[in-house]
Chain A
Amino acid sequence: MPFDQFIGQGNAITMLRRSLQQDMLSHAYLFSGVPGTPKDDMAIVFAQAMFCLLHDDDACGECMECKKIEHGNHANINILKSDTSSIKIDEIRDIKQKLELKLSESEKKVFIITDADKMTTPAANSMLKFLEEPASGIIFILTTSNMKSILPTIRSRSQWVPLAVMSNITVRDTLVKEGFSVVLVNTALKMTAGIDSARNLLQTNWFAELRTVMIQLVKECFKNPIAASIYAQQKIIKSTLSEYIDSMFDLFALFFKDFIYLGGGKETHILFEDEKQWMLEHVHKHTMERWMELMHLALESKKRLRYNVSPQLALEKFLFNMKGG
């Protein structure tokens, strides 16, 4: 796992490599970046690079040291990954205890604390002690996606390594590489912001189904409006999907937006590529104004849900308006 795998993080990597090359490691690093940036992976690779047997300023991922670190088996690397909502002072005390042991001269000890913003104030303050009186050979790597929540006293005592924001294209490529289908990823990215929430959405068992049902519903509306209401009753109201009607209205809006793109000749912008053929056949059934009205209607219905309108009523009213015009 060399540094090269992190696309678009050139600045951070150059900085880290330079400190490795000159053997001028700081006693503490603070990796920050918005959710989805590979902070934690970068921290691991940086640790690997410090210990790697083959390279001085990079990790090979092949040597014993790199492998040990990758599997979490390196005795001199401690990773504190808190599953709970905060990092408590006791966890920092455990680290402190590990620091009481004598290191031999050439030995290095690395402590990685992920989501350091989760540290409680007492925890962060006790952490300060190590940062203020750095012992030789001890290196801290903190990662955070919320730089503002880190105590200024910690910020000022560590080397700040900002990670670049990932572009939408990189996010999409990353998610596709993780095995999600392109069309779903595109839709999910429009519905949420950031890689983590998009991934969460994609991992739910209802998202893909909701999308299919929504497309089917629109198709039914064109064919047989009465059947569409029954279909909605069966597939949505009576099923678990009924909990996600608000997301469904988002999907409706996005779908109608695609029609507007198609009508305006901007075919490359559309999200529902898999339905392109069918959309091309039907785009002329309504005027552009009507498509816009429908999109607006979908968003309006979603708003009604927030005002505690029963989801079933909101959906039925929406379907009724859609066919009635």
Chain B
Amino acid sequence: MKFTINTSTLNHHIQHAAKAISNRTTIPILTGIKMEATNVGIYLTASDTNISIQTHIPLEDEEHVIAEITATGSVVLPAKLLTELIRKLPNKQVEVEVKDNFQTMIRSGQTEVEINGLDPEEYPLLPSINENNTLVISSDILKLMIKETIFSVSHDESAAILTGVMFSLDHGKLTFTATDRHRLALKEMHVESAADITFKNIVVSGKNLNELYKILSEQSEAIHIIVSDNQILFKINNILFYSRILDGVYPDTTRIIPAQSKTDVIVNKQKLLQAIDRASLLSREQNTNIVKMTVDENNGISISSSSSTFGKINEEIKMDEFSGDEVNISFNSKYMLDVLKVLDAEQVKIKFTGAMSPILITPEDDNECVFLILPYRTG
């Protein structure tokens, strides 16, 4: 294998691929990135058996020649070294050449590096996924959907299924659900897909989605999502992002979301966020983050919290709309802040169904996004 390539392009792609590298792997070959030069471009593959990322560097884009292949072939090079090295190379061009026994020469300007490569034949093959069932979604929407749900995943490894976000698709409606038993986030979106594609109970680990989130661009690129029996593939422009699906049955969350409410409130999101943020300062004792909220028609929302060491805080916020009964409820301020931070609206609607029932938070004029928080039982 021998090729020359633009250094910054190579660096850009290596950074993407390296996201799949785990420092904890016990499998020597997975500490490396597989580099493959073919007639249609250069492929970089990295994997930790959970996530696999393959990026494709085309030989030329609209204006420039990016890479020139002299001889095709492949090699596996140590990822850590490679990412550091390529970033620090002096010249705009870099030449990569593989010699006998996978000895790899990397030349750039006056620099010449010889790296001991590994046998690419031993690199695990990427899963072959039947591409018939493709779902297309814009990257900014996918990004938003991940952002609005991922914070609710559980970090408790003993219930592994809850560490993931559940995907389901039914009649062109894509739903993401995440819950850690104390709170729940649900986001729905209408997407273009062939009407006959449906799937449910596809659970993708929150960690993996986090990596995917970093790769997704803010622009509205088309992302193809393909689901197979144990893998899910996201096709992003030149990148293939494979993730394993978590094994197990995701709990049925549809019945948890209350259909009716006793009290409905509409309030300015920013004001509520700031008030709770301040109140949470005094609620950090014993990690409970307890904040109390009382809502009544005359006084508006009052938020209070107290600490035996520091003192107490109390503030009031005017509501824009109110209907129903008075409310007296306590909840974990961290959960509420997480929701308010990702919620994309000026005004939020909060529904209460009693002091012991979940608090439901939605954007004022949007039914595609639902957040639930279980209240604290206080005396």
- Taking a contact as CB atoms under 8 Å apart, the answer to whether B160 and A105 are in contact is no
Q: In the complex, how many angstroms separate the beta carbon of A93 from the nearest chain B beta carbon?
A: 7
- Taking the complex as formed, is A72 at the interface, i.e. its CB lies under 8 A from any CB of chain B? yes
Bound-complex Cα distance A104 to B229 (A): 6
Return the CB mask of B116-132 against A: 1 if under 8 Å, else 0.
00000111100100000
B28 with A73: CB separation less than 8 A: yes
Q: Whole-angstrom distance from the CB of A128 to the nearest CB of chain B? A: 15
> Which chain B residues (218-242) contact chain A, with CB distance < 8 Å?
228-230
Is B279 at the interface (CB under 8 A from chain A)? no
- A75 lies within 8 A of chain B by Cβ: yes
Verify if B248 is at the interface (C-beta below 8 Å from A): yes
Using Cβ atoms and an 8 Å threshold, which residues of chain A touch B123? 73
Q: A72: which B residues are within 8 A, CB to CB? A: 26-28
Across the interface, name the chain A residue whose C-beta is closest to B228: A104
Residues in B with CB closer than 8 Å to A105 are 229
Cβ-defined contact, A97 with B157, below 8 A? yes
Q: Which residue of B lies closest to A107 (CB)?
A: B230
Partner of A68, one of B47, B122, B127, B161: B122
Which chain B residue lies CB-closest to A94?
A: B24
Given A75-B27, A75-B30, A78-B26: A101 and B122 within 8 A (CB)? no
0/1 interface trace, chain B 144-174, chain A, CB 8 Å (1 if under): 0000000000000100110000000000000
Measured between beta carbons, the chain A residues less than 8 angstroms from B26 are: 72, 78-80
Q: Check A64 for interface membership: any CB of B closer than 8 A.
A: yes
- The verdict on A101 contacting B50 (CB below 8 Å), with A67-B122, A71-B122 known, is yes
- Whether, in the assembled complex, A177 has its beta carbon less than 8 Å from a beta carbon of chain B, the answer is no
Q: Is A103 an interface residue (CB 8 A)?
A: yes
A193 to B28, CA, bound (A): 35
> A83 contacts the other chain (Cβ, under 8 Å)?
no
Range for the number of chain A residues in contact with chain B: 20 to 34
Determine the residue in chain A with the shortest Cβ distance to B27.
A73
Does any Cβ of A come within 8 Å of B292's Cβ?
no
Q: Which of A74, A80, A100 contacts B27 (CB 8 A)?
A: A74
Residue B35 at the A interface, CB < 8 A?
Answer: no
Whether, in the assembled complex, A102 has its beta carbon less than 8 Å from a beta carbon of chain B, the answer is yes
Q: Are A75 and B246 in contact (CB under 8 A)?
A: no
Q: Once bound together, how far apart are the Cα atoms of A207 and B294, in whole Å?
A: 83
Whose C-beta in chain B lies nearest to the C-beta of A70? B122
Q: Which residues of chain B have C-beta atoms less than 8 A from A107's C-beta?
A: 230
Assess the B28–A100 pair: CB atoms within 8 A.
Answer: no
Which one, B29, B121, B245, B246, contacts A64 given CB within 8 A? Answer: B121
Residue of A nearest to B244 (CB): A101
Assembly CA distance A80 to B27 (angstroms): 11
Known: A97-B160, A101-B247, A103-B230. A73 touches B29 (CB 8 A): yes
Q: Which residues does chain A contribute within 8 Å of B6, judged by CB atoms?
A: none
Contacts of A67 in B (CB 8 A): 121-122
Bound form: Cα–Cα A254–B157 in Å: 59
The proximity string for A residues 64-95 relative to B, scoring 1 for CB distances below 8 Å and 0 otherwise, is 10011001111100111000000000000110
Q: B122 touching A102 by the CB < 8 A rule?
A: no
For chain B, residues 4 to 45, give those with C-beta under 8 angstroms from any C-beta of chain A.
24, 26-30
Known: A100-B248, A101-B244, A102-B246. Contact between A75 and B28, CB under 8 A?
Answer: no
Check if B49 is an interface residue, CB within 8 A of chain A.
Answer: yes
CB contact list, A298-313 vs B, under 8 A: none
Contact B29 A93 (CB under 8 A): no
**Cβ of A80: which chain B residues have Cβ within 8 Å of it?**
26
Are the CB atoms of B27 and A102 closer together than 8 Å?
Answer: no
Output the residue of A96, A99, A102, A135 with the most chain B CB within 10 A.
A102
| Across the A-B interface, the 4 shortest Cβ-Cβ residue pairs | A100-B160, A73-B29, A102-B230, A75-B124
What are 14 A-to-B residue pairs whose CB atoms are below 8 Å?
Answer: A73-B122, A74-B124, A75-B47, A78-B26, A80-B26, A94-B24, A96-B157, A97-B157, A101-B230, A102-B229, A102-B244, A102-B246, A104-B229, A135-B247
In the complex, given contacts A100-B160, A100-B246, A100-B247, what are 6 additional A-B residue pairs having Cβ atoms less than 8 angstroms apart? A64-B121, A67-B122, A101-B247, A102-B244, A103-B247, A107-B230
